[in-house]
Amino acid sequence: MSRFTVYKEIDIAAAHFLREYHGKCERLHGHNYRIRVYVSADELDSEGMVLDFVQLKELMRELIHERFDHQFLNETPPFDVLNPSSEHLARYCAEELAARLDDGRIRVSECHVWETDTSCAIYRR
Ligand SMILES: [Zn+2]
């Protein structure tokens, strides 16, 4: 467990349906997803931060919002192949951000994806 953790949230609106699922989510529908990404570190940078919230926000905008907002997830890679569940979305967002952020001092530690106010999937790395 790291000593410091920060998180940032963004919202996206997207459509999806779940493949090989029997229930109302097998039909096309949309969610206003809330995505929260956690970044952790044991040591702070010279400014006393895990990382700049502005930097995290910009990266989440580039890697998550620009890619998925107002899109049909089932036609947007990797969810054209991978089932677009909130669990898969949480893992994808965490790993994409980690590829750009993890540097030995800081690391993306967790991602939460809410489909609704009361339903949330959590991925931990
Ligand atoms: Zn759904």
Would you call 22 a catalytic residue per the annotation? no
pLDDT beyond 90 at 111: yes
Q: Where residue 85 sits, what CATH number does that domain have?
A: 3.30.479.10
> How many domains, the chain?
1
Question: Identity (one letter) of the amino acid at 23?
Answer: G
Mean pLDDT of 86-114: 98
* H-type alpha helices, the chain: 53-60, 66-68, 86-101
Contact 28, 82 (CB under 8 A): no
CA–centroid distance, 70 to ligand 1, in Å, is: 14
Q: Does pTM surpass 0.85?
A: yes
CA–centroid distance, 49 to ligand 1, in Å, is: 36
Give residue 115's domain range: 4-124
CA–centroid distance, 51 to ligand 1, in Å, is: 32
